[in-house]
Amino acid sequence: MIRAVAFALMCSVSALSLAAEPAAPAATPAAADASAIAKNVCAACHGVDGNSSIPVNPNLAGQHASYILKQLNNFKAGADGKPALRQNAVMNGMAAPLSEAEMKALAQYFSKQTLKPAVAKDEKLVTEGRKLWRAGDAKKGIPACAGCHGVAGAGLPAQYPSLAGQHPDYLISQMNQWRSGERANDPEAMMRTIAAKMTDKQIAAVAEYAAGLRQ
């Protein structure tokens, strides 16, 4: 009988000790979903950590969450049947099944990843790009890129994307799409207006310079 009571007391003490230990924090569903979606859906084009190994696809690591979320929403067709504001066959299909919660989680996930920046390689283009980035081209009515994207290319979270360390090939493709009107999800047609005034060389120069910027 005494042994039985002692055993019961020992079990009670052990149970209390275990209960007193703080439980390990469980991953939130949103965080878990974002990681899984990044691995299973996004990784092929953007890398599981948002660092793309394909130069024509953008790095997402370290990008402002608000900007990523806006782009994902722009890739989705409207509930009223209206076409997506931003057209891209691959991304339209990828964004279609995502819920608002999943898109927000993905945006937060990629924004917290560490960017492995691209590298500027053409010094002549970098020199010209630096001038355009910092001062623009008054004769052609091209404003300084730094006015919106910052001197170091960090951008502004609620308005303009970070461009520092982005792949030049991707930036060139987007500038060409702005210029042609193929991409038209810029507020007040700001980027379309600017890109329309730029030559191919100026676009390449700005893209090369941005690749070498570091925040």
Question: Could you report the per-residue pLDDT of 185-206, keeping only the tens digit for each?
Answer: 999 999 999 999 999 999 999 9
- Cα-trace Rg, the chain: 24
Phi-psi sector, 50: left (phi>0), alpha (psi -120 to 50), beta:
left
- Is the pTM of the predicted complex or chain greater than 0.95? no
Domains 31-111 and 123-212 share a fold: yes
Alpha-carbon distance 57 to 69, whole Å?
A: 17
CATH architecture of 123-212: Orthogonal Bundle (1.10)
Tell whether 1 is in a known binding site. no
**Domain-wise residue ranges, the chain:** 31-111, 123-212
Tell whether 11 is in a known binding site. no
Tell whether 10 is in a known binding site. no
Question: Could you report the per-residue pLDDT of 12-36, keeping only the tens digit for each?
Answer: 434 333 344 445 444 555 666 999 9
CATH class of 31-111: mainly alpha
